[in-house]
Structure 1
C-alpha cells in the first residue's frame, strides 16, 4: 500500500494474533555461510511511529541477539528515508527498508547491491512480489512482506438491497449491484481517486483488470477502465468525494454504514472484522481475479566499501524475511510460503489476503523501474480529469501518454 502512519498501525492489528506466542523470533537458524563475528550494523527504516517497545523493534533485537551483533536502527518518514539514502553516500547503512517502487530509483543511482553482489538467496521469496525489486533481471531487494487491495462489502446493506455478494463476478454484475444498493436508498461504492500515488494505487486493479498496460496509457483497455469509474460517478453510484478521498478517508466513509462496497486494503482487516464487513477479490472486467498492486517495503543492502559486511547483512535480511517475524511486526502477509503457513496457522482468516497477495502485481513490474513514477503521476492526473468532468476518459489518457512520452525523451 501507500503506507501512512495510521494505516501501518491498523495493519499491525491485522496480524496481532500471529505475533502472540513468540513468533517475533526468526525462523530457524541464520543462514549465509560462516559464523557472525559480532560488530555493529546499521539499519534504516521508514517507521518513526514504531519505538523500541514495538513488535518491529523487538524483531530486530531478536535477530541481533541470534546473530551475536548489535543493530543500530534509525527511523524516519518514507520520503525522508529515500532522500537521506541519496545524500548519504558513501556512508550508507548496512540495511535500508524502502517503499517498493523506490527500489528502482535507488538502484539507478548506484546505491544498492544486487543479490549477485551480496550473495542473498531469494529462491524462497514469492516470485510475483519479488519483481518489484528487480530491474533488467537483477534483484536489488526483497520484500519484508506485502499487502494489497480487495473489495469490501457491508452484508447488511447488500441484504437490504437484495444483492447476493456471490453474484458479483465481473464489472457488469458489480455495476448492477451498485444500482440495486442505490435504489434501496444507500450509496454504491467508495474508493480513493485522489491526485496522488494513492489514486494510482487504487485505480490499478481496474486498469490491469481491463487488460491495460502501463506503457500504453491511451489504450482502449485503459479507456474502458477509466470510463467505468467515470460512469459510476456520473450515475451517482460513487460519490464525488472520491476525488479527494485518501484510502483512510474512503474507509471512514464506508464505516458510516451508508455504502454497499469499498475498495481498500488488507491493513483494514481488523477494523472490518470488528464491524462485520466481508471482502471479495477485485474482478477483471469479464471475470476472474484482477491483479491488485502490492504495497510494502523492501529490505535492501546498500553498497559498502567493506564488502565483507554483506555476509552479515544477508543474515539480517534473511532473519527478517524467511519466516513471519518481520511481516507480523509490520502487519503484512509474509513473503515466503513458510511464513504464510505460520500466519495461517495462527489466524486462518488471513487466507483471503494470502490468496490476494498471490494474485497481486508490483507497480514497477514489467521492468518499468524508475519510469513508474512518471507514469503514475500522469495516470492519477488523468483519473482526476475524467472523474471531475474536465476531460473525457479517452482524452485524459491520451494527454497522459503524450506527457509520459515527452518526459521520456
Structure 2
C-alpha cells in the first residue's frame, strides 16, 4: 500500500508529460466501448491481459489463486496476470495502449481514471456497467463517481481503503484511560490526550508525510465542512477556514506536547507498536500488519474532531483499455472477469483493502472472518474519495507539501496552505491547457 502512494508523484509526472503529446494525436476517448455488451461472455476463446500493481503483501498470492479459479470455470477465457509496480503501470500504459500492446483490463486508482480517460486510453464503460447490472447503489455512496469523466463512466469500483484510529490499549490502561471506552469525539479525545500527557505519554504522534499526515488533514478538513477543491475541480480550496482549523489542530498536538516534533515517516505507527503512544490515524491496510504480533490493539473509526463525520479513503477501479485495434471479444471477456472478481472478493481483506461491492461487504461472514474491519465498514457512509480530474495527482502533492511545512514548523498553517493552493491552482491551469475541458 505504501509503495502505491510513494510512486504516485513519479507516475503523475510521466503521465502529465505524455498528456499533451497523446491528446494532440487525436482520440475517440474510448467511444468504441459503447458497443460492448458483456453480461456473460459466450464468444470464441480469448486470452486477456490483466495489468495490476499488487506486488506486495498477500495480493501476489491471492490474485493468482483467484485468476486460476476463474480460468478453471471459464473455458472460453484465459486471464493472464501481469503484476508490476504501480509506477511502471503509469509509465508504460500510455504508449502501450496507443501501440495496441496494453492490457485488456487494468486496475487504477480513483484519481488516475480521469487522466487516462482524457488521453483516450480507457473505453467508455456505460454499456458495460449496464450489461453487468451495476448501478451506483451497488457500491459505497459516491464511489461510482470516481470512475466518471465528462459525464461518462470509465471504470467499475473494486476496493476501498478508509482511514481509521489504531489504539494501543495497554498504553491507555497505564495512563488511567478506560480502554473499553475509546474516545470518539473531540472532547473525549482531547481529554484522553491530556491524561496520557499527565502520565508522561505523548498520545498521538503527527507527521508531515502522506502516511499519515496528509490523510489525517484531509479527514479533518472535511469534518470541519471544507473541501480540497471546488466541485468542477477548477480551483483548490483547502486553504479555507476549515483547512486552517484542521491543520492548526494537528500542529497544536505538537505545540501542546501531545506529539514530538519532526516525527519520521512511519515513526507514529512504530511508536504505537513499541508502546510509546496510544493513538495512530492510519489506513485499513494496517489490519494486516504482522508487526502487531501480540500487541493489545484495537481499530475504531477516526474521532469526530470537527462539526461532522468524515474520513479519507482511497479507491481502486477496473478499467477497460482502449488499445489500438482493441478486440471487442476481449473487452467483453474482461467484463465477465471483472464481475466474477467482484462477486468473489470476500477474501480481499487479506490484502488490507475492503471489497467495493456492497453485497460482498454486507455479508455477515466478512466481519466474522475479519472482525477488525467493522469500524472501517461503518465509516463508508461518510467516506470521501479522491478528486477526479485529469492530472490531479500532481496537484494533490501540494497538499502534502503544505502539511509537511506546517507540521515541521517551517510555516504557519495559513501560510503553508495559501502557498500550496497557489501552486495547486497553477497546476490545475497547466492540466487544463494539457488535457482540455
Aligned with residue 227 of structure 2, among 203, 206, 213: 213
Contact 1:217–1:401 (Cα < 8 Å) also in 2 = yes
Q: Structure 1 residues 112, 60: CA separation in 2 closer, same or farther (over 3 Å shift)? A: same
Aligned length: 377
Q: How many Å apart are 1:277 and its aligned residue? A: 0.8
Residue number in structure 1 paired with 2:255 = 234
Contact 2:301–2:376 (Cα < 8 Å) also in 1 = no
Q: How many Å apart are 1:76 and its aligned residue? A: 0.8
Residue number in structure 2 paired with 1:61 = 68
Report 1:87-106 matches (<5 A): 87-88=95-96, 89=98, 90-106=100-116
Aligned with residue 406 of structure 2, among 368, 386, 393: 386
Report 1:1-400 matches (<5 A): 2=2, 32-49=39-56, 54-68=61-75, 69-88=77-96, 89=98, 90-116=100-126, 118=128, 119-123=131-135, 124-164=138-178, 166=181, 168-194=183-209, 196=210, 199-215=213-229, 216-242=237-263, 244-246=264-266, 249-271=267-289, 274-286=294-306, 289-295=309-315, 297-304=316-323, 305=325, 306-325=327-346, 327-328=348-349, 330-340=351-361, 341=363, 342-364=365-387, 368-370=388-390, 372-400=392-420
Q: Secondary structure at the match of 1:60?
A: helix
Q: Structure 1 residues 390, 349: CA separation in 2 closer, same or farther (over 3 Å shift)? A: closer
The two structures have a TM-score, normalised by structure 1, of 0.83
Residue number in structure 1 paired with 2:13 = none
Ranges in structure 2 where 5+ consecutive residues have no aligned partner: 7-37, 230-236, 430-437
Contact 1:321–1:327 (Cα < 8 Å) also in 2 = no
**Residues of 1 paired with 2:355 and 2:89: CA distance?**
23
**Residues of 1 paired with 2:202 and 2:59: CA distance?**
43
Contact 1:125–1:142 (Cα < 8 Å) also in 2 = no
Contact 2:208–2:408 (Cα < 8 Å) also in 1 = no
Q: Which moved more, 1:202-211 or 1:350-359?
A: 350-359
Q: Structure 1 residues 122, 359: CA separation in 2 closer, same or farther (over 3 Å shift)? A: same
Deviations along 1:116-149, one digit per CA (max 9) or x if unpaired, are: 2545543223333333222333222223222211
**Residues of 1 paired with 2:428 and 2:4: CA distance?**
30
Contact 2:211–2:282 (Cα < 8 Å) also in 1 = no
